[in-house]
Amino acid sequence: MAGNTVHNQTLWWQQGVIYQIYPRSFQDTNGDGIGDLAGIIDHLDYLTWLGVDAIWLSPVYPSPMVDFGYDIANFTDIDPLFGDLATIDKLVQQAHQRNLKVIMDYVPNHTSDQHPWFLESRASRTNPKRDWYVWKDARPDGSPPNNWLGSWGGSAWEWDATTHQYYLHSYHKTMPDLNWRNPAVKEAMFDVVRFWLDRGVDGLRIDSAQRIMKDPQFRDNPPNPDPKARANVYKSLGDYDLQLHIHDRAHPDIHAVYRELRQLLDAYSVQSPRVALGEIHIFDWPLWATYYGTQLDELHMPLNFGLVGTPWKASAVRQVVDAVEAALLPGAWPNYVLSNHDEPRVATRIGPKQARVAIMLLLTLRGTPTLYYSDEIGMHDVEIPPDRILDPWEKSRPGLGLGRDPERTPMQWDATPNAGFCPPSIEPWLPIANDYKQVNVAAQRANPRSMLSLTHALLKIRHASPALSIGTYASIPDVPDDCFVYLRQFNEQSYLIALNFSSKEQQIRLLEMGTGRIRLSTHLDRKGMVDLGSFGLREDEGCVVEMGEMVP
């Protein structure tokens, strides 16, 4: 199967598991109700125990916080909310001492409108930094230069009354798009990369990675003949879905930029391997795979959101996994994600029982998994009262269900007030779930059958088994419709993964596979030899079965 080439010399980002931290919500150490870098340092031992290999930090740069850090006012400093450069240096050092890698969020598409670059750019049409952003004249009738829409609603163009031109913003109007066709912008943003790599950071997660190159002719986007089609694979964005977004993002020139960025990363990788992950919201898998580069010389991994938007049915999930595998060039490394800071937590989407099946899927598929903070304990989204809503996307597009506050609530560490996230007397920046006394790290570490115990066990077996960390993948046909079954192999080691996506018992009959030994069940209550000719899965159960000669 295409993409199943496995190199004996695999790199840390291929063997490892990435853990995404939303810093505002991980741990507050200074009593302001907002998480900080010191709080992450305090929990590095927990992450080491859990068994992850790298942490990815959502933005911690100076920002007006209109979009909670993705509107950046300085790419080479730390916002005082989170600490300072000395704190991030300490975090990198302490992480490396524990063999944890650190990945920073890199936001190349836009800045805050408070960034000094943009303040200069909008000062006058003749300012040297005018062309660092995308400025265009109005049409003769005064309307925007073209029909491009912002993904947060309305036109992607904002009128500037001082200089009498429009500037482009793919998201909020306070987040103007940089002009990557200006060589000075590219060099300045590459200098940002150098700044963080010089400080020992191990990689970048590139935000809005397909956005940075637009059509140089600024042609109108054509209408979408089937606006509901996108919602079927992801979620509705309202009027934004009325267009086919073929000119306002992902111009083919983007690949030259990422080849050059890869060369920069490769130069640093002589010392230690650095990785580039790209946020690519494309569900045409052959097109998505082009971001690896035809010579595997662009992004190490374009992030794959297929499991986030796909209906939670065994056949649909299998179809996504098989399509991803088929789209990969030999040597390209796949990856999967179940949740993140922009999408509902997996336990909310599919329920707590199937969340256990999902975590087994994520941690046993071929490729690099990204685990969103709190998914290891099965945290669910938290309902946000109207007066506590903070997300600007929700405020700008009410009623569409686009608010991201519910999946960004504070980590639940223990049963003390505020779940141990911040002092009892302090109101956390977002509400704590009502069930935090039951759903928290301390309680689940003490429970051998908890979600956390399952995640820990899965990570332990994954790291101990080359077949599960770097082995090949092959889906197994002729199984019940509600089951997804696949084989992971490396040399003589083989594991069968059998997942029941339903609340009914299922019988799997693999007559030619003989016997195996259950190494792990999502119920955490059975092990031992099984006959694969008639193998029963209980409701909402997944099993990892070791094949071949079994050692008692």
What span, in angstroms and rounded, lies between the C-alpha atoms of 188 and 111?
13
Strand, coil or helix: what is 466? helix
Sheet holding 54-57, edge to edge: 301-302, 275-278, 203-206, 101-106, 54-57, 18-21, 368-372, 335-337
**Tokens 């986007």 — which residue?**
221
The size of the chain, in residues, is 552
Residue ranges in 269-380 assigned as alpha helix (H):
285-289, 306-309, 314-327, 346-350, 352-364
Query: Could you give the residue numbers annotated as active site?
Result: 207, 279
d(CA 405, CA 356): 23
122-160: string of b/e by CB count within 10 Å (b at 16+)?
beeeeeebbebbbbeeeeeeeebbbbbbbbbbebbbbee
| Residue 3: predicted pLDDT | 37
pLDDT for res 233: 58
Nearest to 40 by CA among 15, 60, 69: 60
What is the tally of helices (H) and strands (E) in the chain?
A: 17, 19
pLDDT at 234 (0 to 100): 65
- Across the beta sheet with 542-547, what order do the strands follow? 472-475, 483-490, 493-500, 542-547, 515-521, 528-531
Q: Which residues of the chain have pLDDT under 70?
A: 1-8, 230-234, 549-552
What's the pLDDT tens digit per position in 251-308? 999 999 999 999 999 999 998 999 999 999 999 999 999 999 999 999 999 999 999 9
Q: What pLDDT, on a 0 to 100 scale, did the predictor assign at position 4?
A: 41
pLDDT recorded at residue 230 = 58
Question: What was the pLDDT predicted at 326?
Answer: 98
Residue found by looking up tokens 């191990």 in the block: 202
